[in-house]
Amino acid sequence: MSLNRRDFLKLMGGTAAAFAFPSVIVQGCKRALEKASQRLPVIWIQGQSCSGCSVSLLNKIDPGIASVVTEYVSLDFHQTVMAGTGDVAVSVIEEAVEKKRKDFILVVEGSIPTKSDEYCTIGEVRGRRVGVREWVEKLGANAKAIVSVGSCAAFGGIPAALPRDGSGNPTGAISTAQLLKGKPVVNISGCPPHPDWMVGTLLYVLLNKGELPKLDEYNRPLLYYGKTVHEQCERLPDYKHNHFAKHWGDEGCLYNLGCLGMDSGCDIPKRKWVGTFNSCTNCGGGCIGCTEDVFPDYGNRGIFQHLNASREELNKLEHRETIETILKLRDGGVING
Amino acid sequence: MAKILIDPITRIEGHLSIEIDVQNGKVVDASCIGDMYRGFERIFVGRNPLDANQLTQRICGVCPISHGIASSKCLESAFGIKPNKNGRILRNLMIGANYLHSHLIHFYHLAALDYVDITALLKYNGGDSKINNLKEWAKNELDVKKNRIDAITAVAPFLPRYEGKDFYIKDLDTNISAIAGYVKALEMRMKAHKMVAAVGGRTPHAISLVAGGVSQVPNRAMIREYKKNLKEVEKFINETYIEHVKAVAGAFKNYFKIGTFTNFLSYGLMDQDTENKQFFLQRGVAYGTKLDSFDPGRITEQVRFARYSSGSNLHPFKGQTQGAPGKPGAYSWVKAPRYNGKPMEVGPLARVVISYLSDNKSVKAEVDGLLKVFNADISAVFSVLGRHAARAIEAKLIAAQLWEWLDELDVNGQPRNYFTIPDTGEGMGLAEAPRGALGHWIVMKDKKIANYQAVVPTTWNCSPRGDDGVKGPVEQALIGTPISDPKNPIEAARVVRSFDPCLACAVHVVEGDREIGTFRVC
C-alpha cells in the first residue's frame, strides 16, 4: 500500500485539492490505509440504472480501478463485477441486513421505483422477490454513510423525468434521498459522474472515519461541483470575445447551441474525460447540464433549447456586451445545430 | 424435477434472472426473466427531437455509442439528410473503439470468472510482483476477515462464487496468466475508452454524436490520442485476448456443444458508405448455414408472456404497449421480438455467421483458422464457445480496420452535414450494438417527438416465449445444459453470459397505446 501526496491530490481533485484538503489529512491518509483491515467496505446497489456510472468508475486512472478495489475499498457487493451469482450473490446483502452490519458505505446507482416493487427486483429471499426499494431501505438503515452516484440516484434523473402528456412518471421513480428521508446522503451527480468524483468522495469518507465532505445545497461535494462549467470552460475566451459557434463542429462558444455550462456545477473542462484532452465542451457538443437536479427536464425546456432563455435571464449574464450578439443571432432564426 | 431460480444473474448489465427445471442432471425447461422497467421511451414524447441523441444513450451505459448512432441515423432519416464522409468515419471510430472496450470487459470481467480459478493466486510461487501483490491481498483478506462480521466478503468481489468439482481451470499457469489478463484488460478497456472520448468528448454517453455526423473535428490531437491507444489495445487483443479465449476453449471443449441456437439476424456493422447499404460486417438473416436477405417488414413483437396488456404480434412501427404488472401467465418485462415469426439470436455470433456465409474473406479466414485449431466443423460455432470466439474475432478485425478508417479521414475537415428540423417527419435508424441488432424509430409532429421506439439486442436474445409458446434464444440455448449441482448451477450461468445480456436495454420499452406510424425502410 502506498499513497503518496501526489496520488492523493490527484484522487481528491487535482490541484484544487491543495486548497481544500489540509496536509494533515494527506498525512493521515497513508496511516489510515496501511492496515488492510481498514479498507472501506462498499455495498453497491443498482436500481433503475443503465450501469453507466459503474462503467465510468472502471475508467479510474491514478490509481487505476484494480488498485482501488484491492487497496482502498472492499467491493463487497456489486452486481456487474462480483463473481457470485444468484443465491451466492444475494447472501452477501442478506447477511449484511440480518447481521446488522454497520461497517459499510451504501452506494446507490439508479433511481428507485415506488409505484410497484416489481419494476425493479434483486434476488429472492425465502421465496419472495425483493424490490430494490426494500434493499436500499434496509441497508440504508445501518450504513456508515450513504452515497448516491449518478443523477438518477441523486435526483431521479431520466427514469424520474415527466412525460409531456401530463400522465405522470411511469414508475414513480425517486432518488435515494427522497426514499431515505432524514438520512444524510451525499450526491455524486452526473450522467455519468467522473470516476475521480466517486472514488475521491469514498476516500474522503474513509479517511475521516465516516464524516462527509463539505457539500453544496444539493448535497454534492463542493470540491467537484462548486464552480460552473462556464467558469472553467476551454471556450471561455471565445465567450468573452463574442465569438459564438453557429453549428456543432464550429469554433467558438457553444451557448447558442444550447450549452448549459452556465447553469451547471462541474469541473469537467479542467478535469477532462478518461485522462484525454477531451471534454463535453471541448468536443464541440456542449454541456447538457447532467449534474443538475433539473436534468433532463429543465421545466419544460429540455436539453437543447437554450435559446428560449428570457431577456431577463440574458440580462443577468456576466458579460453584458454579449447580450446583443445573442439576441441578434436569435433574430437571424433559430440555429438548429 | 428440481426447479432452480438463479436470481440475480450477476456479471451482466442490469437485472436478469433465470428459472430452470432440471431433470436427470439436465435442463429441460427455462425461463428468462427481465427484472427492471423504466418506461423510457414514453418519457421522450413531446420533447425536442435533438434531445433523443442524448437521452437514448442513457438506455445503456455499456453500449451508449450504439444508441447514439442509431438515434442520429433515425433523426437524419426524419430530417432528410445524410452524414458526410468524415461524420460516418468518426462514428465508426467511436463505435469501433467502444466494441473493443465492450468485448474485453465481457470476456475478462464478466465471463472469465466462470472458468478461471481466482484462488490459484494463493498457490502462486513465481516472481511477478503484480501477481504477488494480488496474492498478498487475497491472503490478507482471508486472514483479516476470518470470524469477522463481513467474513463472507473475504476476497470480494471475487469470492464468494459457485463452488464445485471441476468448475474451474486446474492448470496453475493458465489461471495465473488469465488473472494477469483480467488486471491488464481493466487498463486496456480503459484505453479503448480513451479512444471513444477522443472522438466523443466523453464516455460513457458521448457528447459529440449529433445528426449529420459528429461535432468533434478530426484534428491532430484527436488522431494522436486515438492512435496511441489503439496501438496498445490492438497488441493486447492479438497477443493476449485471443490466446486466453483459446485457453478457455481448450479447457472446456464440451462447451462447443452446449448453448446451441441457430437462427441469426444482423443489421450490418459499421457503415462503409453514407447510404447505409455497405457494411464492415454484413447485414442479413441466417438459419443454421442457410443465408437469407433481411426485410425489416418481417419484425413483430409479441407479448403473451410479457407484462403488457396491449395487442400482440404487431410490427414495431405499430407497437401498442401498455404495462401490466401482475398480468397472469406473464413472467418478464422483456417483450418477444420475432423475425418471420421466429426467435432470432443477435450479437457477435450472428454477425460473424452472417458475414462468413456472405463470403467476407477476413471473417472466413479467422473462423476457419480457429476451427482448424480445435479440429472442429462449422457446427461448433453454434455454441457458448462459438460466441466467445466470435467476439474475439470481431475485436481483432475491428482493431485492424480502425487504422484504415483513420487514414481515410479528411484531417481538420468538416465533421458533419447541417440540418433544419422539419415540422413533421418519420425516421428509422438501424445499427449494431456489441450485443446485437439495434433499431430506433421516430415520428415527429410540430418539431417535437410524437413517438419514439427502440428494439434492442437483449430484447431479441432474452425474449420470453412467443405467442406460439416457442421459447426465446437464451431459453432454448439452455435446454439440454448439464447441471452437476442444482445448488451451484454454474453451467447455466455460463450459457446465459455467453450472450452478453444487457437488461437495461431490453426493458426500456414503451408504455401507452399510441400507434407509432409507418416507416420508410433504408
Cβ-defined contact of A76 to B153 (cutoff 8 Å)? yes
Q: What is the model's pLDDT at position A6? A: 52
The Cα of A281 is separated from the nearest Cα of chain B by a number of Å equal to 8
Of B62, B197, B221, the CB nearest to A273: B197
Do A48 and B38 make contact, defined as CB atoms within 8 angstroms? yes
Question: Contact, B13 vs B502, CB < 8 A?
Answer: yes
pLDDT at B233 > cutoff 70: yes
The domain segmentation of chain A, as residue ranges, is 5-225, 229-331
Q: How far apart are CA A39 and CA A41, in angstroms?
A: 6
The 10s digit of each residue's pLDDT in A251-268 is: 999 988 888 898 899 999
For range B182-202, the mean pLDDT: 98
Residue A9 banded pLDDT, cuts 50, 70, 90: low
β-bridge mates for residue B332, sequence order: B306
pLDDT given for residue A91 in this prediction: 95
pLDDT, tens digit, for every residue of A150-203? Answer: 999 999 999 999 888 888 898 999 999 999 999 999 999 999 999 999 999 998
Q: Residue B491 pLDDT more than 70?
A: yes
CB of A307 less than 8 A from some CB of B: no
**How many other C-beta atoms are found inside a 10 Å radius of the C-beta of residue B451?**
22
Burial class (CB in 10 A: 0-12, 13-18, 19+), B28: middle
Does the structure show a pLDDT above 80 at B296? yes
DSSP state of B126: S
Is the Cβ–Cβ distance between B330 and B306 less than 8 Å?
Answer: yes
Q: Using CA coordinates, name the residue in chain B closest to A111.
A: B38
Task: Give the Cα separation of B236 and A2 in Å (integer).
Answer: 28
The pLDDT of residue A19 is above 50 = no
Where in chain B are all domains bearing CATH 1.10.645.10?
2-114+169-506
Any idea which fold A229-331 has? Answer: Cytochrome-c3 Hydrogenase; Chain A, domain 2 (4.10.480)
Q: pLDDT tens digit string along B419-469?
A: 888 899 999 999 999 999 999 989 999 888 988 888 889 999 999 999 999
CA nearest neighbour of B427 among B52, B94, B91:
B52
Q: Are strands A40-46 and A105-109 parallel, antiparallel or unpaired?
A: parallel
Among B residues 456-475, those touching chain A with beta carbons less than 8 Å apart:
none
Contacts of A53 in chain B (CB under 8 A): 61
Q: Is A85 in contact with B9 (Cβ distance < 8 A)?
A: yes
Q: Closest Cα partner for B440 from B507, B62, B206, B431? A: B431
With bands split at pLDDT 50, 70 and 90, how would you rate the model's confidence at B290?
A: very high
Candidate CATH numbers 3.30.465.10, 3.40.50.720, 3.10.20.740, 1.10.645.10; the one for domain B2-114+169-506: 1.10.645.10
B299-302 and B263-266: which strand pairing? unpaired
The three-state secondary structure class of B280 is: strand
Provide the pLDDT for residue A36.
Answer: 45
Which chain A positions have a beta carbon within 8 Å of B43's beta carbon?
Answer: 158-159, 161-163, 169-170
pLDDT given for residue B223 in this prediction: 98
Q: What is the largest CA-CA distance in chain A?
A: 67
- List all residues 6 or more positions away from B317 whose beta carbon is below 8 Å from its beta carbon: B441, B516, B517, B518, B519
Give the per-residue pLDDT at B189.
98
- Judge whether A296 is closer than 8 Å to chain B, CB to CB: yes
Residue of A85, A100, A126 to mutate, testing the B interface (most B Cβ within 10 Å of its Cβ): A85
What b/e sequence results for A247-258 when a residue is b if at least 16 CB atoms lie within 10 Å of its CB, and e otherwise? bbbbebbbbbbb
Which of helix, strand or coil describes residue B3? strand
Distance between CA atoms of B366 and B370, rounded to whole angstroms? 6
User: Does residue A299 or residue A123 have the better pLDDT?
Assistant: A123
Cα–Cα dist B336/A11, whole Å: 45
Interface check for B134 against chain A (CB to CB < 8 A): the answer is: yes
pLDDT of residue B511: 31
Q: At what angle do helices A86-98 and A132-142 cross, to 10 degrees?
A: 40
Q: Is the pLDDT of residue A1 over 60?
A: no
Report the residue from A48, A49, A276 with minimal CB separation from B198: A276
CB contact under 8 A, A86 and B8: yes
Contacts 24+ apart (CB under 8 A), A316-321: A317/A262, A319/A239, A319/A240, A321/A242
Across the interface, which of B7, B39, B109 has its CB nearest the CB of A123? B7
Are A80 and B144 inside 8 Å of each other by CB?
no
**pLDDT for the residue numbered A306:** 46
ipTM passes above 0.90? yes
Please tell me chain B's helix, strand, coil percentages from 3-state DSSP, rounded to the nearest 5: 45, 20, 40
From A92, A101, A302, residue closest to B47, measured CB to CB:
A302
On whether the A5-225 domain is CATH 3.40.50.300, my answer is no
Q: Tens digit of pLDDT for each residue in A53-65?
A: 999 999 999 889 9
Look at B225 and A48 and tell me if their CB atoms are within 8 Å. no
The answer to whether the CB atoms of A159 and B39 lie below 8 A apart is yes
* pLDDT band at B521; cut points 50, 70, 90: very low
Q: Which residues are paired to B36 by β-bridges? A: A120
Given this model, what pLDDT does residue A262 score? 86
Residue B488 · residue B163 · CB < 8 Å: yes
Q: Which stretches does DSSP call E strand in B329-386?
A: 336-339
- For the sheet with A73-78, list strands across it: A73-78, A40-46, A105-109, A145-149, A185-188
**Distance from C-alpha of B343 to C-alpha of B305, rounded to nearest angstrom:** 14
Query: In degrees rounded to 5, what are phi and psi of residue B18?
Result: -130, 135
3-state secondary structure of B450: strand
CA distance B375 to chain A (A): 32
- Looking at every residue in chain B, the average pLDDT score rounds to 92
With cut-offs at 50, 70 and 90, classify the pLDDT of residue B137: very high
- Flag whether pLDDT at B289 surpasses 90: yes
pTM of the model: 0.92
* Per-residue confidence band for A320, with pLDDT thresholds at 50, 70 and 90: low
CA-CA distance, A196 to A202, in Å (whole number)?
10
Q: Which residue has the higher pLDDT, B208 or B310?
A: B208
